[in-house]
Amino acid sequence: MSRESTFSFTRWWGVVVKEFLQLKRDPVTFVMILIMPVMQLLLFGYAMNTDPKNLPTALIIGEQSQFTRRIEASLRNSDYFAITKTLDENTARHALAKGEVQFVVSIPVDFSRRLVRGERPAILIEADATDPMTIGGALSALQGIVESVAEKELTGALGHVRGTSEALSIQVHRMYNPEGLTHYNVVPGLMGVILALTTVMMTGLSITKERERGTMENLLALPVSPMEIMMGKIVPYIFIGHFQAGVIILLTRLLFRVPFVGNPFALYVATVLFIASNLMLGVTLSSFTKNQLQAMQLTMFYFLPNMMLSGFTFPFAGMPKWAQVIGNIFPLTHFNRSVRGVLLKGNDWGDLWPHLWPVALFCVVVMALSVLFFRRTLD
């Protein structure tokens, strides 16, 4: 039997030592190995909440009475609702379309009088159902609240209707997604996720490839400016991004039958901005990577919090404040809102603007950073 065929601890140890040495020489991977679990734990542990509380809610109160005051107080006391403002009907609907509030609760005029008359007045609850997961818990809580208030308040003159469930009714309108279909939420969200992953990675790789193969030295010695290199590099990927976006939109319509009720041109602008932001980011990330593997790792490192904090995986409203602040930096968060807004809610320019400018700002900042970090020399 030859000596090579038996397991040698010396040789094995040689390999172990080599691996550790190489790991040490690759600080990007090393840092990632250390930070990844901490980040995932924090995100999953604190940011993820499938039964979100403190959902922004608008109240439309048609009359001031003992009953409506109790309803309002009970809603305020509940964890589920954060009553942001009491609005008139029009502004409330707009706030719902823009995604500023998750619920609009309206108590009609003459509610108490009709209650006494036994006319079964209705409390109307309009919910933004684009993400069914977000509103599930809150909706059932809302019904419980109204019923328990009714139970307590219907005394004296109203005593005769107490206990009868017919005294009042609660009408729930699941807006934009009446059937509560989760794929209405997931499929448009995937558009951003897929675009982000591929575009960030592709540009990152294309620049890192030059460095890895040694052609960067040649490129830098040629009379071409960093801006020319970067802008030249992202153009092909802008086309690829368009192609991907087109395919995804087509599939969401044909395969998943997701509605498309908003302004297509507004969505196009949002998409172009989003692709540009990802490509610029890919260029910037590539300034910190030596080889293609690192570029892939760094992309994943950026991508993971994106998935979790953008409202794609978990309800945005359910995240703690700090996580929302971070989430609001990512273009994916805003793009998700734009896509859902246009496809499901029929958003137009006015509704989209709050989700467009943060992406544009991100683009500008990241572009400045990429120029700053681009190594004009081999130093």
Partner 1 sequence: MTTCQNTLAIDVQNLGKSFGSKKVVDNVSLTVERGEIYGFLGPNGSGKTTCIRLMCGLLTPDSGSGTCLGFNILRESTHIKRRIGYMTQKFSFWDDLTIRENLDFVARLFAIKGRKAAVDQTLEKLRLQDRANQLTGTLSGGWKQRLALAACMLHKPKLLLLDEPTSGVDPTARRDFWDELHSLAARGISVLVSTHYMDEAERCHKLAYIAYGKLMATGTAPEIIAAKGLHTVVVHGEHLQALSEKLDHTPEVEQTVMFGTSLHASGLDKDALLSTVTDIAGTGLYVEPVETSLEDVFVYMMHRSQNNLRLPQ
Q: Under the rule (CB under 8 A), what is the footprint of partner 1? A: 213-218, 220-225, 377-379
Would you say 224 or 261 has its CB closer to partner 1? 224
Q: How far is the CB of 298 from partner 1 (least distance, A)?
A: 23
How far is the C-alpha of 335 from the C-alpha of 272, rounded, in Å?
Answer: 10
Using alpha carbons, select from 364, 366, 316, 368 the residue that is nearest to residue 340: 316
Q: How far is the CB of 375 from partner 1 (least distance, A)?
A: 10
> Which residues neighbour 47 within 8 Å (Cβ) at sequence distance 6 or greater?
308, 309, 314, 319, 320, 323
Q: How far is the CB of 376 from partner 1 (least distance, A)?
A: 8
Distances (CA, A) of 231 to 67, 84, 299, 378: 63, 44, 20, 20
Would you say 1 or 221 has its CB closer to partner 1? 221
Would you say 212 or 348 has its CB closer to partner 1? 212
How far is the C-alpha of 283 from the C-alpha of 11, rounded, in Å?
Answer: 41
Q: How far is the CB of 240 from partner 1 (least distance, A)?
A: 17
Would you say 157 or 222 has its CB closer to partner 1? 222
Distances (CA, A) of 204 to 192, 288, 294: 18, 10, 10
CB 55 within 8 A of CB 103: yes
Any idea which residue has 């790991």 for tokens? 23
Q: How far is the CB of 232 from partner 1 (least distance, A)?
A: 10
Q: How far is the CB of 236 from partner 1 (least distance, A)?
A: 14
Would you say 206 or 310 has its CB closer to partner 1? 206
How far is the C-alpha of 147 from the C-alpha of 140, rounded, in Å?
Answer: 11
Would you say 11 or 213 has its CB closer to partner 1? 213
Using alpha carbons, select from 164, 175, 88 the residue that is nearest to residue 134: 175
Q: How far is the CB of 211 from partner 1 (least distance, A)?
A: 11
Would you say 159 or 214 has its CB closer to partner 1? 214
How far is the C-alpha of 148 from the C-alpha of 140, rounded, in Å?
Answer: 12
Q: How far is the CB of 212 from partner 1 (least distance, A)?
A: 12
How far is the C-alpha of 143 from the C-alpha of 45, rounded, in Å?
Answer: 29
How far is the C-alpha of 196 from the C-alpha of 354, rounded, in Å?
Answer: 20
Would you say 22 or 215 has its CB closer to partner 1? 215
